[in-house]
Amino acid sequence: MSENTPLRLGIAGLGTVGTGVVKIIRQQAALLSARAGRDVVITAVSARDQSRDRGVSLTGYAWETDAVALAKRDDVDVFVELIGGDTGVAKDAVEAALALGKDVVTANKALLAHHGQSLAEMAENNGSVIRYEAAVAGGIPVIKSLLEGLAGNEITRVMGVMNGTCNYILTNMEKSGRGYNALFDECAELGYLEADPNLDVGGIDAGHKLALLASIAFGTQVDFDAVELEGIQRIELQDIKHAAEMGFRIKLLGVTQMTGRGLEQRMTPCLVPAESPLGQLEGGTNMVVIEGNHVEQVVLRGPGAGMGPTASAVMGDVMDIARGIRIPTFGVPAAKLQKATSAKAASPAPFYLRVGLHDKPGAMAKIATILGEAGISIDRMRQLSHADETAPVLIVTHKCMRQSLDEALHTIAQSKVVATAPVALRIENL
């Protein structure tokens, strides 16, 4: 593709994000052209339903019912994949585009989290690039910052709150005093949930994002299966209340760092200091913290979802391609990405535990004994008043390894003193 010729996009998927991209290109053609040094045009689109009114004109674009056919069109230079899903037509169409040497822009975190390595290899073998700014943290240019802006650093840690729906639920539980289920239902009504809600509240969507950031940060092959994943479904109002009393808020927090034992990747609900930037993050906003050996710490905050912000990220990638920016998918050639040893939770931390005990004498002593035998020392322990026969006990441990704790919790769960499975939340003193 030489400069000055128009860059021709084929857009597959005309949901919220796809429609947003079409709007930007129709409304701001002159501005985009001035910045890119060439026109950026849509030649063809595809979606399941051609008849639906999307609030934007599709006049002048060829229509394909099949995204793979769209990807293969001669008049498409860049295949913009906004279908979603880690298998099926999204993957087929991306592969078809790459096989023909076309560039790909995608917002599909699941696809890259599961097939990032093979797709990166395929892209490089065919002289294509894959860009995916919209896949992580919505409108925040976090991929660009990590991949390019901070390329002079050895990255030491990346952290973030990267699922707006979970953060909306958690912050509104605290604000409104309503429980998890009520806020889950509200999110469903507001359209904040993925078709499979477990992608959101189970931490999977945010885990996908973390796996992509880890690959760029540490030059490793994307390894989503190695992410320690835990959702927010078991967080109760009392957890949020007790966290607040200790000066903390509960966030679905992603952390990845390279440790002596291997690559740590975790996306789990954590207690973070209420006064920290991550603790203060409210609603659907996302935040990513990048730490490097020279830059110290950079914090990026912005909208994690929505038509405008996500389309903005897609357009950032399109503009990069229009301007001739061509960088390997994860920052170094795919063949140079290392297979990292996984260290799911390599660093010790204090934990917050909530255990529901049968209200019988000796139950608390039993728990304390099991923890002690596992080498986990207790900082604070407190039995709460209760109306029924299950007595909630809150425990804050001293620093321990998650693995030791899990073993102890397994023993606790099997003991006869426990009425409900324990909840364990890491305390992250940022």
Residues 6+ apart with CB under 8 A from 327: 129, 147, 148
Which range of residues in 32-40, 175-183, 184-192, 397-405 is near its own copies by CB under 8 A?
Answer: 32-40
CA-wise closest residue to 284 among 186, 167, 137: 167
Query: Which is the catalytic residue, given 72, 91, 102, 209?
Result: 209
The dihedral through the CA atoms of 189, 194, 197, 203 has a sign that is negative
Half-sphere exposure of 279 (CA within 13 A, CB side): 17
Binding-site size, its own copies (CB under 8 A):
58
Nearer to its own copies, 101 or 324 (CB): 324
72 catalytic residue (yes or no): no
Query: How buried is 155 (Cβ within 10 angstroms: 0-12 exposed, 13-18 middle, 19+ buried)?
Result: buried
**Residue 316 Cβ, how far from its own copies at the closest point, in Å?**
5
Q: What is the 3-state secondary structure (H, E, C) of 291-347?
A: EECCCEEEEEEEECCCHHHHHHHHHHHHHHHHCCCCCCCCCCCHHHCECCCECCCCC
Minimum distance from CB of 192 to its own copies (Å)?
Answer: 16
Nearest by Cα to 212 from 252, 158, 156, 161? 158
Residues 218-237 that bind its own copies (CB under 8 A): 219
Q: Is 333 in the site for its own copies (CB under 8 A)?
A: yes
**Which residues within the stretch 150-169 sit at the binding site for its own copies (CB under 8 A)?**
150-154
Using CB under 8 A, pick the residue from 20, 160, 350, 356 that binds its own copies. 20
Sign of torsion over alpha carbons 186, 190, 196, 199: negative
14 in a known ligand binding site: yes
- Binding map of its own copies across residues 245-284, x = CB under 8 A, - = no contact: --------------------------------x-------
Asked if 292 is part of the footprint of its own copies (rule: CB under 8 A), the reply reads yes
- CA 83 centroid distance within chain: 17
Q: Closest approach of Cβ 302 to its own copies, in Å?
A: 4
109 labeled binding residue: yes
Is residue 37 a contact residue for its own copies (CB under 8 A)? yes
The residues that touch its own copies, with contacts defined as CB under 8 A, are 20, 24, 28, 31-32, 34-37, 133, 139-141, 144-145, 148-154, 219, 277, 292-303, 306, 308-309, 311-316, 318-320, 323-328, 331-333, 336
